[in-house]
Structure formats: structure tokens, C-alpha cells
Amino acid sequence: MSRTPVSARERSVGTVAMRWHGGSLELLDQRLLPDEEHWITLEGASGVAQCIREMVVRGAPAIGISAAYGVALAARHAGGGDWKAEIKQAIRELAASRPTAVNLFWALQKMEQEFAGCHSLDEAVKRLAKVAVQIHEEDLAANLAMADNALAHMAAEKPFSVLTHCNTGALATGGYGTALGVIRRLHEKKLLKDVFADETRPWLQGSRLTAWELAQDGIPVTLNADGAAASILAAGNVRWVIVGADRITANGDVANKIGTYSLAVLARHHKVGFMVVAPSSTVDMALASGKDIPIEEREGTELRQIRGVSIAPAGAKVFNPVFDVTPASLIDVIVTEKGIVSTPNVTGMKSLFS
Ligand code: MRU
């Protein structure tokens, strides 16, 4: 389908992952990047749930925002019979799409609360669309605030290099990005030398999305194999490792893309700062520690094949958890739009999020 012209606002916050048109949602198919920019138009919650499950759209905040739009679509296209049952079923279907990023459940809870106050389908159509747009806009605002908070904490005077993992940019959020938003801001302030981007096996969010997104916006990026991170940190060229999060628990443990934990161990060993950047919608104070976070395991084909081409024996046994948990003790600072938690622990998390 043809692409709607990009607005000035969108240009200033990076590439966009989704567009809302009231009666339909467009998602940029991230499975096809960087080769093809293809947009998928959705008019129902089932299609949105499928897109989340199949990684058309991914990244914790973007998943939550898409799900919120999915609920708004369910209202908009409800049959008119038992519309309440239809919307409830849509919420259940969206909630079952992916288990780890808490932003999904946070957004659905907000939509459910709004839905509970609606007395007619007409009212639900209007109110649910309004809240979904609000969730989207608030995420963008949170990203901009987090970039301010992170830069204030870093107090840098001279340009330096950073290393990042997975994709945490405009493609993974409502715009601008979490960890990549901080990197974007460092670049805007001329404080960024280079970004080392882990390729992020097995789905390759780093090479396919982060390298593409940064290149699109003219931000310097050097792609590296995940296994090269140790030597890059050992060489002393990186001041901060900056990553996003899919769920942060009450003690400051952080679930993020598989491989984040090993990076945190490396950063501590090499005395490099380790920063986690995430909006408060990623914080789950109901879970005591990272041990309680459900970790998604995806199909073995993600490791046995790349885009349909075999790179392992067809029957090879595979273990494919797509997130890991970094213990709070390895994290120097968690940055949110509400403020920062240095050397996170239960007390620090409670003081910001109780
Ligand atoms: O499997 P994905 O691509 O949805 O995983 C994404 C990540 O792990 C990101 O680092 C995280 O969601 C933060 S995005 C702002």
C-alpha cells in the first residue's frame, strides 16, 4: 500500500512503527526490514494480535501501543450484537500474544478500565480510540523526558562511544526510543562518537533494525557480532552500555533481550557504566524479582534458519529463550520519565514507583 507522507513531528522523533487512522491501524512490517518498507493495514484486534505474535511489530512499548489500538479497532468494528463480549474477547486475544513485556498488559489494563465505564458502543468507539492515542502520545513524551534524565545523569562534556543491544528506537516505541532515544539525544548534543550495535542473535534486531534506524537518521553506527562485545569493552572505547527493558521488577531486576545479562557482566568486569532506559509502563511492582518474570521461548526455526535458509541441521535440538534477566546488582542506573534509580534495589524502586 502507498505510504502516507511523513509529518514534521514524525521526522523529529525518528522512523515510525505505526500509524493510526481512526478506523484502521498501519504497522510497518519489521520482519522485512531493512530490505523492504512494507505497511500492513489492520481493521481488527485478531490481526493486531497476530502481528504482535509474529513480530511485525515488536519492542515492549510498541507492543503495548499496538494492543491498545487493537482494542480500539475491536470497538470500531464490533458487530453491534453483544459488543461488550466482543471487546472482552479482543482483550483476551491480545493479552495472549506475547508474555514477557509488561507494557502489553499495562496498556490492556488501561483500555479495560476505560471500557468498563462505557454505556454504549458509540461511547466505547470514541473513548477507546482516545485512550489508545493518549497511550501512544504519552510514550513519546516519556521517551523525550528519559533522554533528558539520562543526559543529566551522564553529565558528559566530551563525545564518547556507547554500545547497545537489540532495537529500542522509534521502531520499538511510540517514537524517538528508550535507550536509542538517549543515543539520539547524545548525537543531537554532539556528545556521541559512535554507537556499537550488537547484531542481536537470533532475530537480528540490532543489524536489521537498529543499524537501519540509526543510518536513516544520520547517526554513526558500527555493527558488531554479539560475541565481539567483550573485546570492544576491553579496548576501553565505550563509556556506557545502554539498553532498554521489557519488564523491571520491584527489586530492580530487568528482563530484556537475550544477551543483555552477559553484557551487564562484561560491563561490570570492564568498569563500563550499565544503563537501563525504560518508561514507567515497563515497571511491574507486583513482581518481587526477576525470577517471577515469564520468559518467552520462541520456535527453534529462529536459530536453525535465517529467512528460510538453513544454517543448522534440520532436526537440531534448540533452546531459544528470547529474553533474560539481569540482576539489579549489575545495573548502575535505571532511567525512567519519572526520574532515575541509581544502583537499583527495593528501596530505590519503591521511592520512585510506590
Ligand atoms: O523480541 P523483541 O524485539 O520485542 O524484544 C525487544 C527488546 O527486548 C527491547 O530491548 C525492549 O523491548 C525495549 S524496547 C524500547
pLDDT tens for residues 207-227? 999 999 999 999 999 999 999
Pinpoint the residues of the chain covered by CATH 3.40.50.10470.
156-353
Please choose from 31, 168, 293 the residue to mutate so as to test ligand 1's pocket, defined by most ligand atoms within 8 A of CB: 168
| The pLDDT value given to residue 62 | 98
Pinpoint the residues of the chain covered by CATH 1.20.120.420.
8-140
Q: Is 58 annotated as a binding residue?
A: yes
| The pLDDT value given to residue 5 | 46
247 CA → ligand 1 middle, Å? 10
User: How far is the CA of 329 from the CAs of 78, 148, 282, 293, 334, in angstroms?
Assistant: 48, 24, 19, 17, 12
* 165 Cα nearest atom in ligand 1: 10
Query: Is 320 exposed, middle or buried (CB count within 10 Å of its CB: 0-12, 13-18, 19+)?
Result: middle
Q: Hey, what CATH class is 156-353 in?
A: alpha beta
Q: Give residue 221's identity as a one-letter amino acid code.
A: V
Q: Which segments in the chain show pLDDT lower than 70?
A: 1-13
| Residue 325 DSSP class | E
State yes or no: is 253 an active-site residue: no
Q: What are 10-23's pLDDT values in tens digits?
A: 546 678 999 999 88
| The pLDDT value given to residue 354 | 86
Beta strands in 68-200 (DSSP E): 160-164, 192-198
* 205 Cα nearest atom in ligand 1: 3
| The pLDDT value given to residue 12 | 60
CB of 344 closer than 8 Å to CB of 351: no
Query: Is 242 exposed, middle or buried (CB count within 10 Å of its CB: 0-12, 13-18, 19+)?
Result: buried
Q: Which residues pair with 257 in a beta bridge?
A: 323
| The pLDDT value given to residue 4 | 45
Residue 202: cis peptide before it, omega within 30 degrees of 0: yes
> Where does ligand 1 bind, in terms of residues with CB under 6 Å?
58-61, 101, 166, 168, 172-173, 178, 205, 244-246, 256-257, 322
The cell for 10 is 514524525
Query: Which is the catalytic residue, given 35, 139, 226, 246?
Result: 246
Closest CA relative to residue 290, chosen from 320, 334, 230: 334
119 CA → ligand 1 middle, Å? 36
CATH of 8-140, one of 3.20.20.70, 1.20.120.420, 3.40.640.10, 3.40.50.1240: 1.20.120.420
Closest CA relative to residue 168, chosen from 186, 143, 138: 143
